[in-house]
Amino acid sequence: MFGYTVHRLLVMIPTLLAISLIVFIIIQLPPGDYLSTYMAELQAQGEAVNPQKLAYLREMYGLDRPAWQQYLYWVWGLLHGDMGYSFAYNLPVTQVVGDRLWLTFIVSVTCILFTWVVAFPIGIYSATHQYSWSDYGLTFLGFVGLATPNFLLALVMLYLANTWLGISIGGLMDDRFIDAPWSLAKFWSVLAHLWIPVIVIGTSGTAGMIRRLRANLLDELQKQYVVTARAKGLSPFRTLMKYPLRMSLNPFIADIGTLLPHVISGSAIVSVVLSLPTTGPMLLDALRAQDMYLAGSFLMCMALLTVLGVFLSDLALAALDPRIRLGAGSAK
């Protein structure tokens, strides 16, 4: 177990280096750099841009250097915990990301909880009542949730919430609470705004989870140990909770790996539509403006979380399911 852990941790280093290289190359791929975005923005506002000034800015931001030097400079900074400097915000990246991370965290965790709270009972119910009318009905609802484009649902709900309930459009709180210290009123305002993104982001996830839980559970329910348990007189509910449900949980634990980065990246498109102060829209803007250190460092954080998440979920799986042996593949 210990050897396996060390091995996995060591493998992360080349993985992350490879990711950083790919991230950097992809960010650099589109023609131009941040300054061409900046120039376009100035021109759109009717300002003349002096080419010499651009050359000077390019030198100041280090954009005139060859790409490999920029890459090394960036990676070297990352190793020291320096995420670099955001051109567009004129601030160090850590400060730009700052409190957005926190709000993203709130939204994402609530979404995950919502998904689980809704999906588990429905999934179990449809599996145990397979091919009944209620199974069809719930499955249908799930598919509708999966098939409705998130952004459309978001717009419709925004409009309804505003006209019926008077909730301000977009954002995570009323404007007057931004930057205000936390208070009961602010908390309430956040709750009043939170349910829309949670439902919108949650519905698509819910449908997927219902389907998977139902399928896994159906597999298990057919098995002989279930029949044996029932034959021995165990109550149907206890049987279900104690054996097949546990067996069908493996995929969810494996999911933790992708869950971790999701918690900080949020759902970009929905966040843009709902104008949420989370990290998704920030990342999108940074990529579009080629604000490369902001985009790059943020993507690296997500990569790190993904790698860690996969590692943790592997460990958790091993701990929960004795049938899984660590390093079985490599020991062959």
Partner 1 sequence: MIRALPVMLALAALLVGGQAQALNYIETPALADDVAAGRLPPIAERVPAEPAIETGRPGQPGGELRVLIGSARDTRLLAIIGYARLMAYTPSYDLVPDMLAGVDQKEQRIYTLHLRPGHRWSDGEPFTAEDFRYWWEDVANNEMLSPTGPPVALLREGEKPKVEVLDPLTVRYSWSAPMPTFLALLANASPITIYRPAHYLKQFHAKYADKAKLAALVADAHARNWAQLHNRMDNPVRNDNPDLPTLDPWVLKTKPPSERFVFERNPFYYRVDREGRQLPYIDRINAAVADSKIIPVKVGAGEADLQSRYLRFDNYTFLKAGEARNGYRVRLWKTGYGSQLALYPNLNVNDPVWRSLLRDVRFRRALSLAIDRHEINNVVYYGLAHEGQDTMLPGSPLYDEHNSTAWAAYDPAGARRLLDELGLTKRNGEGIRLLPDGRPLQIVVETAGTVAEEGDVLELIRDNWREVGIKLFAKPLQIELMHNRIFGGETMMSIDRGLENGLANAEMSPAVLAPTLQASWQWPRWGQYFETHGMSGEAPDMPMATELMNLARDWMNASDFEARQSIWKRMLAIRADRVLTIGLVAEVPQPVVVSDQLRNVPEQGIYNFDPGAFFGVYKPDRFWFVPEAPADQPS
Binding footprint of partner 1 on the chain (CB under 8 A): 30-32, 36-37, 39-41, 43-53, 56, 60, 82, 85, 88-92, 95-96, 98, 158-159, 162, 168-171, 175-176, 178-179, 272-275, 277, 281, 285
Please report how close the Cβ of residue 139 comes to partner 1 at its closest, in angstroms: 33
How far apart are CB 301 and partner 1 at their closest, in Å? 17
Question: Nearest approach, Cβ of 271 to partner 1 (angstroms)?
Answer: 9
**Which residue lies nearer to partner 1 by CB, 39 or 249?**
39
CB of 173 to partner 1, least distance (A): 9
Question: Which residue carries 């996830």 as its tokens?
Answer: 205
> Amino acid letter at 51?
P
- DSSP tag of 27: H
Phi-psi domain of 46 (left: phi exceeds 0; alpha: psi -120 through 50; beta: other): left
Q: What is the 8-class DSSP label of residue 180?
A: S
Residue 89: both structure tokens together = 């915000």
Residue among 43, 88, 23, 21 nearest 61 (CA): 88
Closer Cβ to partner 1, 148 or 168, answer by number: 168
For the bound state, the minimum distance from the C-beta of residue 260 to partner 1, rounded and expressed in Å, comes to 24
DSSP bridge pairs for 92: 85
In whole angstroms, the minimum distance from the beta carbon of 169 to partner 1 comes to: 5
Give the CA angle between residues 263, 268, 269 to the nearest 5°: 140
Residue 200 has a CB neighbour count (10 Å cut-off) of 26
Considering beta carbons, is residue 52 or 330 the nearer one to partner 1?
Answer: 52
Q: Give me the least distance between CB of 100 and partner 1, in Å please.
A: 8
The answer to whether 219 touches 248, Cβ cutoff 8 Å, is yes
Nearest to 194 by CA among 170, 163, 166, 159: 170
By beta-carbon proximity to partner 1, the closer residue of 119 and 158 is 158
Cβ distance to partner 1 smaller for residue 80 or 332: 80
Nearer to partner 1, 92 or 208 (CB): 92
Angstrom distance (rounded) from CA 67 to CA 26? 12
Name residues whose C-beta falls within 8 Å of residue 269's C-beta, 6 or more positions apart in sequence: 150, 151, 280
Whole-angstrom Cα Rg for the chain = 25
Least separation in angstroms between CB 288 and partner 1? 8
- Measured CA to CA, the distance from residue 170 to residue 275 in angstroms comes to 5
Measured from the CB atom, the residue of 36 and 128 that comes closer to partner 1 is 36
